[in-house]
Amino acid sequence: MAQFPLIDQASLVMIPGAYKEGKIYSQLPTDGSGDFTYTRGTDTATRVNENGLIEKGYENTLLQSNNWAQSDSQYEITGGEAGYDGTNDAWLVNKLAAAYFSKDALVLTGVMTISFYAKAGSLDRIFVFIGGDAARFDLTNGTAVSAGGNSVSQNIELVSGTTDWYRCSIVLNKTSTQNLLIKPQNSSNQDVTGTIYIQDAQLNQGLVAYPYLETTTVPVYAGLTDNMPRLDYTDATCPSLLLEPSRTNLIKQSEWMGGLTLQEISVDVDNTVSPEGYANVSKITSLNISSKITNSGIPYVAGTTYTFSAWVKNIDASTVQFLWYDGSSNRVYKENEVNTETFTRISFSFTPSNTISGQIQIARDLPAGQSFYVYGAQLEAGSYPTSYIPTYGSTQTRGAEVMTSDTSSFGITDEFTLFIDTDAVSVEGTLLNAMDDLRWYVQLNNRYRFYKTSDRIYISNNITIDDRTKIALKITASECKTFVDGVLDSTISLTTPFASFDSIYRNTQTKLKDNLNQILLFPTALTDSECIALTTI
């Protein structure tokens, strides 16, 4: 704050930094009276975090996740054993008969990963069976193989800092309620008596096991959860507050391309790391030049613009081709020479002329034997791509974001200065964003305009927003001045003094994307030179 001396004169200072669910803290005032409340209301949103990785919410929906107690003629399972994490929360599983022990009533809702931690005892293999799919885990050699059914993948990973504890996981694509059945075996895969150790089970959406969350009687959520403000670090070392409209990802499987309709193509999961920082990427390999992956049944509306996007990384493909198809004769191709070293987000837009059930096709006519990676496929109604909305078997909607701060105690009368530092604004159509008696009006072509709501008097000219724009709105009893990027932009006479207002309110609704770097509110009209200094990039 020392680099901006004028901040000491402000009644309200919001520079994105400290936050929690439902709240963005103001730097001034420090008593909490200027804090912004924040709502979004869904857990499908993502952001780019300070490490440059996509961050999203995740969960453990498996209840009583570390309660394995059992004592009968088939198993004796007792707690208090040394675990992988330095606790005594592990369980000794003593197998007495050729049977399974279980975690019951797991609700599967698409692509989900089931995981648990295990260590060899007198037995060193574990057979897992769930809903017809099976996998076998070797707790000596650290290998995992499919043992029947049609699971997406299985994985075993040595726990860091240990030599004998492994995290075992199996990825399924099912919509049903199933029991997780586990059976220890010997190195010859035989059902003999003996022991293993087990700890901490988890069921989460997606292609990987996320960091473990302990549950008892209800699911537990972590990461970017409901109503968590999105401080986004895309292309920046300092965060901005990402505010976006409500959008729906119409692609039903955004990460697991194998869950869509395949033609002459194979899809696998390997250890390639995605822009999220996990090995949750679909590896696409063509089996024939007539290859394609199809997401059908998309409800296109005539005259509505749609945008498709995905992160793509090449292996050995000459080009990667995407196709929008409206089900009749209209097609739009996007051919991309993909980056060979890093994931690149590609996008293209199209506007159907008919209301119809259509398609998106991925890897259209890829030459046989060529491969590439895809992560985060997204199709949304809108002229530009918004932040990633993950899906695991059904479409998902991210809610519009709203933030507001109560300014009633600041003594704002007919003179004040409002400062907004914003960048990368995208607008579709027009909408109003209330600030009590003061509103800021967003138009096409990324333009701001401010006006007084009581008599609909415009108090500024159009202000074009480019990559980064600093705006000062200076109000006196007789005039309004706007300063944009260090220059006086407009001067407008006011026939009546501007009334006081009691809140600052920002609502993205369905048409506006905004990246806010700062909001400052001064209870006085700053001098012209101060406004110029404040807005100079």
Sign of CA dihedral 259, 262, 266, 271: negative
User: Which residue carries 């959008």 as its tokens?
Assistant: 247
How does residue 8 score in pLDDT terms, banded at 50, 70 and 90? Answer: confident
How does residue 508 score in pLDDT terms, banded at 50, 70 and 90? Answer: confident
Q: What does DSSP assign to residue 257?
A: G
Per-residue pLDDT, 458: 66
Phi, psi (rounded to 5 degrees) for 378: -145, 135
CB 400 within 8 A of CB 245: yes
Segment 167-175 mean pLDDT: 97
Distance from CA of residue 488 to its chain's centroid? 39
Q: What does DSSP assign to residue 8?
A: G
CB 207 within 8 A of CB 112: no
Compute the distance between CA of residue 531 and CA of residue 516 in angstroms, rounded to an integer: 18
Asked whether residue 331 carries a pLDDT value surpassing 90, the answer given is no
* Percentage of residues in the chain having pLDDT higher than 90: 72
Compute the distance between CA of residue 62 and CA of residue 108 in angstroms, rounded to an integer: 10
Q: Which amino acid is at 27?
A: Q
Residue 151: partners with Cβ closer than 8 Å, 6 or more residues away: 133, 134, 135, 170, 171, 172
The helix (H) or strand (E) run that includes residue 530 is helix 528-535
What pTM did the predictor assign? 0.93
Compute the distance between CA of residue 123 and CA of residue 218 in angstroms, rounded to an integer: 33
Residue-range domains of the chain with CATH = 5-42+401-535 (2.60.120.200), 70-221 (2.60.120), 247-395 (2.60.120.260)
Compute the distance between CA of residue 504 and CA of residue 437 in angstroms, rounded to an integer: 10
Q: Is 473 helix (H, G, I), strand (E, B) or coil?
A: strand
Instruction: Strand 282-286: give its sheet, edge to edge.
Output: 265-268, 282-286, 371-381, 306-314, 344-350
Cis peptide bond N-terminal to 5, omega within 30: no
Q: Give 442's strand partners.
A: 431, 448
Per-residue pLDDT, 2: 37
Q: Is 49 helix (H, G, I), strand (E, B) or coil?
A: coil
Compute the distance between CA of residue 463 and CA of residue 444 in angstroms, rounded to an integer: 11
The helix (H) or strand (E) run that includes residue 464 is strand 463-464
Residue 455: other Cβ atoms inside 10 A: 8
Q: How far is CA 426 from CA 38, 44, 382, in A?
A: 20, 21, 10
Compute the distance between CA of residue 456 and CA of residue 453 in angstroms, rounded to an integer: 5
Q: Give 10's strand partners.
A: none
Compute the distance between CA of residue 461 and CA of residue 307 in angstroms, rounded to an integer: 31
Residue among 174, 168, 136 at smallest CA distance from 152: 174
Q: What is the tens place of the pLDDT at every residue in 335-381?
A: 777 777 899 999 999 999 889 899 999 999 999 999 999 999 999 99
Per-residue pLDDT, 41: 82
Cis peptide bond N-terminal to 29, omega within 30: yes
How does residue 462 score in pLDDT terms, banded at 50, 70 and 90? Answer: confident
Q: Tell me the pLDDT of the chain averaged across its residues.
A: 90
Q: What does DSSP assign to residue 16?
A: S
Q: What is the tens place of the pLDDT at every residue in 28-76?
A: 999 999 999 999 987 799 999 999 999 999 999 999 999 999 999 999 9
Residue 167: partners with Cβ closer than 8 Å, 6 or more residues away: 115, 116, 117, 156, 157, 159, 209
Q: What is the tens place of the pLDDT at every residue in 394-438?
A: 999 999 898 999 888 888 888 999 999 988 667 776 666 666 667
* Percentage of residues in the chain having pLDDT higher than 70: 93
Segment 298-322 mean pLDDT: 93
How does residue 290 score in pLDDT terms, banded at 50, 70 and 90? Answer: very high
Asked whether residue 1 carries a pLDDT value surpassing 70, the answer given is no
How does residue 442 score in pLDDT terms, banded at 50, 70 and 90? Answer: low
Per-residue pLDDT, 493: 87
Asked whether residue 185 carries a pLDDT value surpassing 90, the answer given is yes
Q: How far is CA 23 from CA 228, 231, 245, 405, in A?
A: 8, 12, 19, 10
Residue among 247, 107, 230 at smallest CA distance from 172: 107
For 214, the token pair is 């302990």
Rg, C-alpha atoms of the chain: 28
For 200, the token pair is 């901490």
The count of residues in the chain is 537
Q: What is the largest CA-CA distance in the chain?
A: 92
